[in-house]
Every structure is written in structure tokens, then in C-alpha cells.
Structure 1
């Protein structure tokens, strides 16, 4: 069973059409990057997740979002060919329309990263390796650590566990076998913004990191 992120339980489960959904990137070595929308702990259905069609034009980039990579649409994912070494990042603020909560209109911004070769953040919410290839990560929101953040870890065999970041925003991912790991974190922001072209009163930031061990 999927372990829901805290913001899902607290704010979205009753309102957002796909509360447990995340964007994530799968990439082996320095090859093609495959970008998915769905529930990463579950097998991808034939033809993609029922909400997959909502992932239309994310910004996919290596080091500079002003230089996005071209993507090709497939039956259940988008594909990008970076061509260069480095971690691949994704940002999309138009997947789901804003929804109404007691705090006003709320919108979700999704982020994803594949790789742990770089120890710097380039997304608003990002899980950042403390050094290249490290098993320790810092949850950063706009460059600052997020103490106490809840990070969900999905192992290659789909085992899941939630870790709580320490006072420096750090977690250590244990070695639980070879294969792809998917880390997920969320952060609520009581600030106005724009999601899907609409003004909102608060933002939910949802971010993943994948790496192969």
C-alpha cells in the first residue's frame, strides 16, 4: 500500500483529483530520461496512469531551465534525450487545476530530479545529495534546508518507509538492494502564486528524486 505524504492526508485527500500522484524521472546512466505522472510505488498501467494525460509540457532541463530539453510523447511517459552528463530536472505548474480549501484557493507545483551527481539545488523544492553520489540528502526549499521534512522512500522492490529530516533537513537512505530508488517530499507555502494560469492563495510543492544504486 502506498504511504501518502503528509500534505496528502492534511490537505488534498478530499479535494485534489489525484492526491497521491507525483512526477518522477527514470534514467539509467547518462541515457534517455523517461518522465512519468502517477503513483511511483505502483506498476504503471498499460497506456499510463489515468491522470497521465495531464502531464503535457513540463520544463525539462539539465542546469538551466531557460534551455529546456525537447520531449517526445509515448503511450505512458515523455522522453527526453539530454545528450550531456548531469542530473535531469523537471518542473510543471499546470498539471492540476487549483482547488478550494479553508485557506483559499490552493495549487500544486510538481518537481522531479533524476541522478545524484550534483550537490546543488536548481528547483524550488529539491532533495539534494550532500556530495556527488552520496546516500545522504538535504531537503531544500529555495536553497534553505527544511528541518523535520517527511521524505517517503520507495526501494527497487517497492518497499516503502517515511523518514524525518533532522534539524539540518537531512536524511540518509539505507542500502536496501540494487536498483532504482524514488524519494518524495512535499512542502506547503502560504503565499500567493499562479498555477495552471490561475491565481492561488497558497502552494503545495511536490518533489521527487530518483537514483540508481
Structure 2
């Protein structure tokens, strides 16, 4: 089955590209970060996802002036050692009727060396290097929320956070894992492309299990 279940059906009908796609970061050791736009639960098409051109200016956190090189399917950027974070609310323009527009904001992280969150929506390790994570929204843990675990061989499993907003990642094999979560904010908010009545936040975290 195509990987489509992280956002509601109405969003799928209104903006299929936005609802089906996520932004995630991959990094090997202390090498450059690779920032992707696509469907992490699916094999990346040759040359990158068809919507990849929409990913233009993700913002690193902390801010960086390092140049991003556009490769075949990802943006590559040199970053300091440690966890890598980026956010972007300009990938897809707001959609819908005036006064009812919806938008999407992406929050991506690679690594689990820091047991803290730094973005408005983030999946962070409970302890450095650990396999237990917490979903945080606006500085507070999110209980009973769905987080999808994608293993290196693209096996997926939906896990719900507990009362403290935490979940244990089922590790099956060595390699890169991707965690994804989404939240529909009916209160809306301001984005770089204007105010929206509904804001869809989508978070990803990747880490390597050895």
C-alpha cells in the first residue's frame, strides 16, 4: 500500500502533493547532510521525487550560511558535527478558499546525540543515543499521538505515544530508521507564505542503528 496515512483524507483530497510528502534529513557520520522531499516509506525514484523541485530553501537550525548544493533528489550541505535540524514552511503554497486556507510546515531532524527538542514540532530522543523518543509540540510532550517507524528495509509500524508523549522504537536490523509524525492545528498560524486557517505540522527524525 502506498504510504499515505500520516495526514487526514480531506487533506489528501485538497492537496495530494503536500499530504503525501515529507522532508527528512540523512547524514552519515560527520559527513554532509542530505535533505530530501518525498515519501520516506517508498523507494526514492531515480533522479529524486517528482515534487523535489518544490524544496528550495529549508532553514537549518541553528541558522547557517553554508551553501546548499542541489543533487539528484536531495540538497546537500556541510554542517557541524552533531544532530542536524531543518524546517521549511514554503515547500507547498497554502491551498483552499480565502479565509479557509491550509498550509504545511515541515520539521526535520537527523541524529539522536542530543536529548532535547529545539523546533516547534519534533521527535527527540529521551536520552542521548537511546531508542526511546518523545514527540514534542510547542515545548510540551504529545500523548496518544501516532508516530510511524520506517526501518532500513522500508518495513513500517505505527506506534502511539504514551501518557508522557514517549514511544519505544522497535529495532529490527542495523541501518537508518525514519520516524514520522503529523499534527493538524485547527487554530492555524502564520507561515512564511502568509496566514493560514489550518496548519499541518509534519516532523521527521532519522537515526542509524548499529
2:144 equivalent among 142, 148, 154: 148
Counterpart contact for 1:130–1:136, Cα < 8 Å: yes
Query: What TM-score do you get using the length of structure 1 for normalisation?
Result: 0.91
Evaluate the alpha carbon distance shift between residue 120 and residue 144 of structure 1 in structure 2; reply closer, same or farther with a 3 A threshold.
same
Q: Which runs of 4+ in 1 moved over 6 A?
A: none
Is 1:81 matched with 2:78?
yes
**Partner Cα separation in structure 1 for residue 52 and residue 192 of structure 2:** 16
Moved more, 24-33 or 178-187: 24-33
Shift of the alpha carbon at 1:9?
Answer: 2.9
Aligned length: 208
Moved more, 133-142 or 184-193: 184-193
Shift of the alpha carbon at 1:100?
Answer: 2.0
Quote the RMSD (CA, aligned, Å): 1.8
**Partner Cα separation in structure 1 for residue 92 and residue 192 of structure 2:** 7
Q: What CA deviation, in whole Å up to 9, does each residue of 1:57-97 have, x standing for no partner?
A: 11023xx23x4543111121100111x22100110010111
SS where residue 14 of structure 1 aligns?
Answer: helix
Moved more, 176-185 or 196-205: 196-205
Report what 1:35 is aligned to.
Answer: 35
Counterpart contact for 1:5–1:186, Cα < 8 Å: no
Report what 2:68 is aligned to.
Answer: 71
**Partner Cα separation in structure 2 for residue 123 and residue 68 of structure 1:** 19
2:92 equivalent among 96, 103, 107: 96
**Partner Cα separation in structure 2 for residue 81 and residue 37 of structure 1:** 18
Is 1:44 matched with 2:44?
yes
Is 1:9 matched with 2:5?
no
Report what 2:106 is aligned to.
Answer: 110
SS where residue 194 of structure 1 aligns?
Answer: strand
**Partner Cα separation in structure 2 for residue 191 and residue 69 of structure 1:** 34
Query: What TM-score do you get using the length of structure 2 for normalisation?
Result: 0.93
Unaligned runs of 5+ in 1: none
Is 1:57 matched with 2:38?
no
Counterpart contact for 1:87–1:118, Cα < 8 Å: yes
